[in-house]
């Protein structure tokens, strides 16, 4: 089927129009952020004299040095730990038969469907005073790290199981017959091949953890030094919007920036992640 | 050995060298986190829902009283109706937009598709709190939307969109459409490229017009993609807490309240922990049932 020039033009115009819609709201706060309060910005104002002072002010007044530190500690820990645990789980679910595997796997899958909103109330009361151990985890990084590992391994186990099932059986069986231990098969034969799948999974978990809001709101809002970047943004927006919207816009851009940078460099892996797992040819 | 036993044994047979129950050792560490911090709290929520509790004084057992209150609670009913409206905006409209565009686009290779894909996909990855700030500005009294309306001589339509009793919910809905339409578009456009060209040629030989071609070839060919789009976008709709908390917080006057927001208010602002737990349980059940329906629908059409 050959498309005429006119048809091709139409295609690009439609795609282009929707691409503009997709980035416009983000661009509009970027433009707003590049102004200062004195510019009295309205509407579409394009920053003819871009000024970074709103960014500087937002960074210090919104305590984003602390917010970024908390978010990096939490997101990095959750990503690394759940990547390791999910790989182990996916390996067992994907390549071994063991007693109860057909009962346990569907239970793990429930974790992808069920809303974590339904776990946040007991997490709050149990972390305030952990039963039996009497630890106080509320307003610590642990309060965010532990539950998010729990949620991420549900998705991760599902994701890695799909990968390990796609590996040719003969490869695994040959290694087993050569006398490799089960861990040897995983570590020396499968993990080198699994790296792209692990990378995609880790990116998705990192983004999800970085963006998380409800858990942070409920579990660490009592400690300023443990607030994550999105929580800090929410508080800062509430306090500063009436006074100076350019600072709130700058703060929002700052919180989005790490994800935008990672996405631009590794977008191939993201898109594969969203589509590859869900759709089989 | 009866044939039934043999068949059973065959089905459970292990591949040569399968380490078998060692599998548990690999599953256990992850399962521990999942069990302690996801599954246990979920069950704990159900347990709390059977008590009257303010979070401080001792709990009082009330059986199913929280649930019978929930059934009669007009605010909760409104919250679920709002969720249904949001599903239309987050799931239905984006899927329809995606399909219409897919039908409109020609099936030749689109050069630079990667650029469009990257851009259209972007809203999916931005934090809800950030999206909220962007749209609060777009909808602002002196923001781009109202200025744009004035520019086109539609000044009479200018309003504080998120503060308007009848326009706040649709305005939240539009944010949802914006978040998910690119995902649907990219999914469908990529999916169409995988449909064999012969099917289109055959349809054309049979004299099918563009309309028939779409319903006979494109739509069935995109079955998986449409299913995935519905699951992802519906979950997005039911988890709209971040955006709503940071734009309208359920207001004005509960016109944008959703179940997760109402649960949050009851648990942490009104000190009605037991009732909030009941709301959370109902929400979890609704999501589970919806997911089961969509997945069953997918299974059935696969059998055809």
Q: ipTM score of the complex? A: 0.91
Question: Taking CB atoms and an 8 Å cutoff, what residues of chain B touch A25?
Answer: 131, 134-135, 137-138, 178
* CB-CB neighbors (< 8 A) of A263 in chain B: 118, 122, 125
Mean pLDDT of all residues in chain B?
87
| Measured torsion, CA atoms of residues A59, A65, A70, A76, in degrees rounded to the nearest 10 | 100
Model pLDDT, residue A281: 32
- Measuring CA to CA, which residue among B17, B40, B36, B19 is closest to residue B28? B36
Place of tokens 């098969």: A185
- Helix/strand/coil for B160: coil
Q: Are A126 and A244 in contact (CB under 8 A)?
A: no
DSSP H or E run through B220 = helix B219-221
Calculate mean pLDDT across residues B1-8. 53
Whether the predicted pLDDT of B75 surpasses 90: yes
**In this structure, what is the dihedral angle of CA atoms B156, B159, B161, B166, given to the nearest 10 degrees?**
-70
B205 touching A, CB under 8 A?
no
A144 touching B (Cβ < 8 Å): no
pLDDT number for residue A278: 44
Mean pLDDT across B153-171: 93
Tell me how far the alpha carbon of residue B50 is from its chain's centroid: 28
Q: Among residues 59-98 of chain B, which lie with CB inside 8 Å of chain A?
A: none
Chain-chain contact of A279 with B228 (C-beta, under 8 angstroms):
yes
Predicted pLDDT of residue A280: 39
Residues in a beta bridge with B60: B52
- Residues B258 and A97: their CA atoms lie apart, in Å, by 43
**How far is it, in rounded angstroms, from Cα A24 to Cα B205?**
43
* pLDDT value at B1 more than 50: no
Interchain pair B129, A15: CB under 8 A: no
Q: Quote the CA–CA distance of B255 and B162 in Å, as a whole number.
A: 10
In degrees and rounded to multiples of 5, residue B102 shows phi and psi of: -60, -40
Closest CA to A124 of B269, B246, B259: B269
Mean pLDDT of the B57-80 span: 96
Residue from B11, B129, B258, B282 to probe the interface with A (highest A Cβ count within 10 Å): B129
Q: Are B286 and A112 in contact (CB under 8 A)?
A: no
Q: Specify the pTM.
A: 0.90
B273's tokens: 């922990």
Which class for B209: exposed (0-12), middle (13-18), buried (19 or more C-beta within 10 A)? exposed
The fold of B73-303 is MetI-like fold (1.10.3720)
Under 8 Å CB-to-CB from A44, ≥6 apart: which residues? A28, A31, B144, B147, B148
Find which of A47, A100, A119, A135 to mutate to test the B interface (most B CBs within 10 Å of its CB).
A119
- Mean pLDDT, rounded, for A72-90: 97
Please say if the pLDDT value at position A44 is more than 80.
Answer: no
Range name among A45-49, A78-82, A162-166, B64-68 with the lowest pLDDT average: A45-49
Q: Select, from the ranges A236-250, B41-55, B207-221, the one with the highest average predicted confidence (pLDDT).
A: B41-55
Taking contacts as CB-CB distances below 8 angstroms, the residues of chain A near B242 are: 211, 213-214, 230
Give the confidence band of A87 by pLDDT, cuts at 50, 70, 90: very high
User: Is the pLDDT reported for residue B219 higher than 80?
Assistant: yes
As a whole number, the mean pLDDT across chain A is: 89
Q: Which CATH class is domain A64-226?
A: mainly alpha
What are the φ and ψ backbone dihedral angles of A188, each rounded to 5 degrees? -95, -30
- Provide the chain B residues 128-157 that lie in CB contact (below 8 A) with chain A: 128-138, 140, 142-144, 146-148, 151
Tell which A residues from 185 to 244 touch B, by Cβ distance under 8 Å: 207, 210-211, 213-214, 217-218, 230-231, 233-234, 237, 241
Please tell me if residue B239 touches chain A, with a CB cutoff of 8 Å.
yes
- Asked if the peptide bond before residue B35 counts as cis, ω within 30 degrees of 0, the response is no
């Amino acid at each position: 089927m050959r498309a005429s020039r006119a048809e091709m033009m139409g295609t690009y115009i439609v795609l282009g129009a929707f691409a503009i819609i997709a980035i416009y709201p983000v661009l509009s706060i970027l433009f707003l952020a590049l102004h200062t309060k004195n510019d009295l910005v309205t509407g579409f104002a394009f920053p003819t004299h871009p000024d970074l002072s709103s960014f500087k002010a937002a960074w210090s007044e919104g305590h984003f040095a602390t917010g970024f530190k908390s978010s990096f500690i939490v997101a990095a820990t959750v990503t690394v730990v759940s990547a390791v645990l999910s790989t182990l789980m996916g390996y067992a679910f994907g390549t071994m038969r063991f007693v109860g595997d057909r009962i346990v796997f569907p239970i793990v899958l429930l974790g992808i469907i069920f809303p974590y909103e339904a776990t946040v109330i007991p997490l709050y009361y149990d972390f305030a005073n952990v039963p039996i151990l009497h630890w106080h985890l509320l307003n610590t990084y642990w309060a965010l790290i532990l539950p998010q590992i729990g949620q991420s391994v549900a998705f991760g186990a599902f994701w890695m199981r799909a990968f390990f099932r796609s590996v040719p059986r003969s490869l695994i069986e040959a290694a087993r017959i050569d006398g490799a231990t089960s861990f040897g098969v995983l570590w020396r034969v499968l993990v080198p091949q699994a790296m792209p799948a692990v990378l995609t999974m880790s990116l998705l978990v990192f983004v999800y953890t970085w963006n998380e809001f409800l858990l942070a709101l409920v579990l660490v809002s009592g400690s300023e030094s443990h607030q994550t970047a999105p929580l800090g943004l929410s508080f800062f927006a509430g306090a500063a919007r009436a006074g100076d919207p350019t600072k709130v816009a700058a703060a929002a851009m700052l919180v989005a920036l790490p994800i935008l940078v990672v996405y631009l460099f590794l977008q191939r892996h993201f898109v594969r992640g969203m589509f590859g797992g869900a759709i089989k040819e | 050995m009866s044939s039934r036993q043999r068949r059973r044994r065959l089905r459970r047979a292990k591949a040569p060298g399968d380490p078998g129950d060692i599998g548990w050792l690999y599953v256990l560490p992850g399962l521990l986190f999942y069990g302690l911090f996801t599954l246990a709290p979920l069950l704990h929520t159900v347990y709390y829902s059977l008590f009257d509790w303010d979070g401080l004084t001792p709990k009082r057992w009330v059986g199913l009283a929280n649930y019978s209150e929930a059934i009669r609670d007009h605010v909760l009913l409104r919250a679920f109706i709002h969720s249904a409206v949001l599903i239309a905006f987050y799931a239905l409209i984006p899927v329809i937009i995606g399909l219409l565009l897919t039908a409109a686009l020609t099936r030749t290779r689109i050069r630079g598709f990667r650029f469009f894909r990257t851009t259209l996909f972007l809203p999916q990855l931005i934090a809800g709190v950030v999206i909220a700030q962007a749209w609060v500005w777009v909808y602002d009294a002196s923001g781009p939307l109202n200025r744009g309306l004035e520019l086109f001589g539609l000044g009479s339509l200018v309003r504080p969109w998120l503060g308007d009793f009848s326009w706040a919910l649709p305005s939240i809905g539009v944010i949802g459409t914006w978040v998910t339409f690119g995902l649907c578009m990219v999914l469908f456009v990529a999916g169409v490229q995988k449909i064999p060209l012969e099917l289109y040629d055959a349809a054309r030989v049979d004299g099918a017009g563009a309309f028939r071609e779409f319903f006979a070839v494109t739509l069935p060919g995109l079955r998986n993609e449409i299913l995935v789009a519905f699951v992802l976008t519906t979950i997005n709709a039911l988890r709209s807490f971040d955006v709503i908390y940071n734009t309208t917080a359920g207001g004005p006057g509960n016109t944008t309240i959703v179940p997760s927001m109402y649960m949050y208010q009851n648990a942490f602002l009104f000190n009605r922990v037991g009732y909030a737990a009941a709301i959370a349980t109902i929400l979890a059940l609704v999501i589970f049932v919806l997911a089961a329906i969509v997945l069953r629908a997918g299974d059935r059409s696969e059998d055809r």
